[in-house]
Amino acid sequence: MTLPVRVFPTPDALAPTVAREIAARLRQLVERRREAVFVPSSGRTPEPVYRALRDDHANSLDWNRVHILQMDEYADPDLAEARTFRAFLQRQLLRPLKVGRFTGLRTAGERADAIRVAERIDLVLHGIGCNGHIGFNEPGAPCGDVLDSVMLTPQTMRSNFGNRMEDHPRPIGYTLGLETLRKAGHSVLMATGAHKRAAVGRLLGGATIDLCPAAILRDAPSAEVVLDRAAAGQAYRASAAA
């Protein structure tokens, strides 16, 4: 399928809309069913959306009935807890919104639970790596199992931890696999900033999954892309001209 794309002027301009839509989807799900399973990116891109969820939607739904499943995590056991994706999600969403349930990926027990929860994902909010990765599914990775143990590329490590190699944990991670992410009820992929323009160009330009893992979302049951102008580049000019 062709992924629907919306382009906003800036990250701050898109955040209220995306936050409102996420809150509305989760609210509908928790009203219809016992819980909603939400997989939010642990990247920096959605931080303005998480701020808008905290500021404007803490009371828009019963967050106690939301179950957050972690998308990816570092596997280095020596990584300081504060630098884990789990800690990021705790700061951004779990504690401030009083989210009812959380399944992480740090321990073997959590990972066993994650494999079960991953079969019923309602909503995923993705970022995208500069090399087109989603979760920690790097280019060339197999579509894989529900949960994969993976090697992270130097580019991903630099992007997440900076250029000083001595600050990096071991480049290993856990990630929900591409096929599992594809099957989610609805997927939103967010990209902001000129450094994401090449990855967005590959995604929207028809690159294969091997080259751009995010391309698997073209075969998702329901998916959309939300960009700022800087990330959209050519794609924005093309859609503006159409």
Q: How far apart are CA 221 and CA 223, in angstroms?
A: 7
Closest by CA to 133, choosing from 148, 118, 155, is 155
Q: What angle do CA 84, 191, 46 make, to 5 degrees?
A: 45
- Kindly tell me which residue out of 136, 161, 174, 236 binds ligand GLP, with binding defined by CB under 6 A: 136
Q: Is residue 74 a contact point for ligand GLP (CB under 6 A)?
A: no
What SS3 class is residue 226? Answer: strand
Structure-derived torsion over alpha carbons of residues 218, 220, 223, 224, reported in degrees to the nearest 10: -10
Q: Is residue 90 a contact point for ligand GLP (CB under 6 A)?
A: no
Q: Is residue 45 a contact point for ligand GLP (CB under 6 A)?
A: yes
- Kindly tell me which residue out of 16, 127, 139, 233 binds ligand GLP, with binding defined by CB under 6 A: 127
Of residues 54-73, those binding ligand GLP (CB under 6 A): 71-72
Rg (CA), the chain: 17
Q: Where does this chain touch ligand GLP (CB under 6 A) — which range of 5-13, 123-131, 176-184, 220-228?
A: 123-131
- Kindly tell me which residue out of 84, 103, 160, 180 binds ligand GLP, with binding defined by CB under 6 A: 160
Of residues 194-233, those binding ligand GLP (CB under 6 A): none
Closest by CA to 193, choosing from 46, 39, 4, 2, is 46
- Kindly tell me which residue out of 16, 48, 132, 135 binds ligand GLP, with binding defined by CB under 6 A: 135
Closest CB to ligand GLP among residues 63, 136: 136
- Least distance (Å) between residue 128 CB and ligand GLP: 6
Instruction: Tokens 């642990």: give the residue.
Output: 42
Closest CB to ligand GLP among residues 120, 158: 158
DSSP annotation of 165 reads G
Q: Is residue 41 a contact point for ligand GLP (CB under 6 A)?
A: yes
Q: Where does this chain touch ligand GLP (CB under 6 A) — which range of 14-22, 56-64, 127-135, 207-215?
A: 127-135
What SS3 class is residue 212? Answer: coil
Q: How far apart are CA 139 and CA 137, in angstroms?
A: 7
Q: Is residue 126 a contact point for ligand GLP (CB under 6 A)?
A: yes
Is the CA virtual torsion 187, 17, 114, 130 positive or negative?
positive
Q: Which residues bind ligand GLP (CB under 6 A)?
A: 41-45, 71-72, 126-129, 135-136, 156, 160
